[in-house]
Amino acid sequence: MTAWESFDRRHVWHPYASVLHPDPVYAVRSAHGARLELADGRSVVDGMASWWCAIHGYNVPELNEALSRQINRMAHVMFGGLTHEPAVRLAGRLLELVPDSLEHVFFADSGSVAVEVALKMALQFWLPNRPGKHKILTIRHGYHGDTFGAMSVCDPVTGMHHLFSGMLPQQLFVAAPSGEQWVYAAAEMESVLRTRGHEIAAVILEPIVQGAGGMRFYAPAFLRQVRKLCDTYEVLLILDEIATGFGRTGKMFACEHAGIEPDIMCLGKALTGGYMSLAAVLASHRVARGVEAGGQVLMHGPTFMANPLACSVALASIDLLLSSPWSERVERIEQAFRKGLESCRAAKGVADVRALGAIGVIEMKEPVDVPAIQESLLAKGVWLRPFARLIYAMPPYILTDQELALLVEAMVEVVHEC
Ligand code: PMP
């Protein structure tokens, strides 16, 4: 272990991990295409795309070039009272891509902050005329980030509600849709909206795929029904597309599976192709007008809002995505997961196997031993980060057929070892 690696073990926090008794972490020296080059000399296929972000893989010439071009002009400048072309061109590009009703863009610095901003927009929307509408309604098993507003709408059991009870805003939850039973979840949502709609500002959902709250997929019909209910009971619909956006589920945005439009949409993660932290909140003109109805403005403004480097690389990433056969690439990954992971279904300890777009999930009956599984997967040439009962992958879209086969094979083998 190098000196800096042992310093890491003594001083540096890693996500959701002990700083005093740290689990192993693996040093990465560089990354190219869909591969991470570990400091110990191993080259492994990254099945995580760095937590869904690196859709084009690593060290992408077009993205590197966009950053070096921008850095020679300016790395950063405040967005209060100033503006710049990368941000405005990115806003334009996003508005071309997202559903038509979204017309205004707020740039935030991470997914969690985008969720905070979206919640704030929804609350400020009702404040001037119906201040009683200040609660958020959502479904269980959701995940929207780690800041306080975002945590308040994460799953109340697997989220961090027990740790911070008394400190989180109290929101409303209904059952998450499950297979054909989605109608019961929709009925429960309707009943809460009917009785408490006067208190509810917005419904927030991850469309079609609930990610970090359990990698659950649900029927587009549920989302269509939620859109109708929001209209009927005068509640805004916020769609958190931070994990699903930019093609991950097989559509550019997951809401397209249902053919519906949100009032507010959050984007992040793959927005910059995984190069830099940037998020965007998009809102309809009606939302923007409502926010300002009482003579107020949206009260948010991060220091690194619309960072020019991040906006430049986001523009380059979107151009690269649009000029690539991304939809075929994602479809190819879905087919490989569907066929390849199916053989696990009968394995001891497996509860379910599912795939959608470039997402493949093996759900076990019991929580998995993460360090042991990671060690075994690395020996097979693959990097994954399982959690709870889930061994899942969401690789860069550009991985080769051989890398995809290696990934699927390693997942199947590791499940048989469990
Ligand atoms: N929303 C969703 C759906 C997410 O998956 C995540 C991150 N996993 C977030 C919000 C939070 O994003 P960030 O980690 O960039 O704050």
Q: So what's the pLDDT on residue 6?
A: 96
Cβ atoms of 355 and 337 within 8 Å: the answer is: yes
- Spatial CB neighbours of 231, under 8 Å, sequence gap ≥ 6: none
Q: So what's the pLDDT on residue 418?
A: 85
Q: Which residues of 83-93 are buried (b: 16+ CB within 10 A; e: fewer)?
A: ebebbeebbeb
Q: So what's the pLDDT on residue 71?
A: 98
Q: So what's the pLDDT on residue 159?
A: 80
> What's CA 315's distance to the chain center, in Å?
19
CA distance 398 to 394: 11
Cβ atoms of 95 and 282 within 8 Å: the answer is: yes
What positions carry a catalytic annotation?
Answer: 16, 143, 240, 269
Cβ atoms of 314 and 331 within 8 Å: the answer is: no
Q: Which atom of ligand 1 is nearest to the CA of 113?
A: 16
pLDDT tens, residue by residue, 343-379: 999 999 999 999 999 999 999 999 999 999 999 999 9
Whether the model pTM is above 0.85: yes
Residues of the chain whose pLDDT is less than 70?
none
Distance 266 CA to ligand 1 centre (A): 10
Ligand 1 contacts (CB < 6 A) are 110-112, 115, 143-145, 206, 211-212, 240, 242-243, 268
User: Which residue's CA is minimally distant from atom 9 of ligand 1?
Assistant: 145
Distance 149 CA to ligand 1 centre (A): 13
Distance 9 CA to ligand 1 centre (A): 26
User: Which residue's CA is minimally distant from atom 2 of ligand 1?
Assistant: 144
Dmax (CA) for the chain in angstroms is 62
